[in-house]
Structure 1
Amino acid sequence: MRALIQRVTSAQVHVDGELVGDCGAGVLILICAMQGDTDDLPAKLAAKIGKLRIFKDEEGRMNRSLSDIGGQALVVSQFTLAADTSRGNRPGFSQAAPPAEGERLYEAFAAEMAQIVPTQTGRFGADMAVSLTNDGPVTIWMDTDA
């Protein structure tokens, strides 16, 4: 699985003008299931993100985790994280998991995050409008293959 984690003060996702998910201080997680991802990866990735020390302590150092600060998560599916830009000018997405598999792993990941912190989601496969206030800015790329 591939994730782009952004530390936020707030984030929202809308579908057709309707608010479908939001969060306050915490993280916006853009997530993509990749070809060959296994059922154990959503739990491993969620646990890693929950423990990732990217929030400031009283000395201003990134030393606290999402769990430590009582933060929230907004999880949004984004198959374009699988983009292959090695040839030509049009990205290829063949490394992304097929839609049914991607949705299943996305839902499993969101459920795992919800066991760690309050979590809301976007809508898988929808054309979504995502807005956020990036805090820092702090943006972290994670790939379970790395």
Structure 2
Amino acid sequence: MARDYRLSRMLHVLIHMGEAEKPCTSQEIAAMLNTNPVVVRRTMAGLRDQGYVVSEKGHGGGWRLTRPLSAITLLDVHRALEPGTLFAIGPSRDRPECLVEQAVNASMQEAFARAEAELIRELQGRTLADIVDGMKRPPACDTHPAATT
């Protein structure tokens, strides 16, 4: 089962951006994430469309936040990334007429709904600033170890 790392990766990027003194280029962000700048631009588009970042063209341009870290929740970022389901596991559909499968699926769906509601509450209650408050001050994107290689 493949995991979706976009949320944690974008939280990483946005915190660096919030600490940066200048816009972060797609190249710098790609180096941070060990990926391609095209992937960065595609991923950042959802954040731009929701108004959390802007992109400035030209010399000295790049991506920058439109609001402080304290005004962006983890749920905001999650939703901007247009994710699928929060959980990769789900009910079976092999034998929909089977009463046992129906009972198992109903039980699982109820549990997933409760777990998803709790996770959404947690994500809504935490901001990017809360993450920064829980750690040492991160370096700006232009001084990130991966960006200098």
* TM bracket, shorter-chain basis: under 0.3
Larger Rg: 2
Which structure has greater strand proportion?
Answer: 1
Which structure has greater helix proportion?
Answer: 2
User: TM-score under structure 1 normalisation?
Assistant: 0.27
User: TM-score under structure 2 normalisation?
Assistant: 0.26
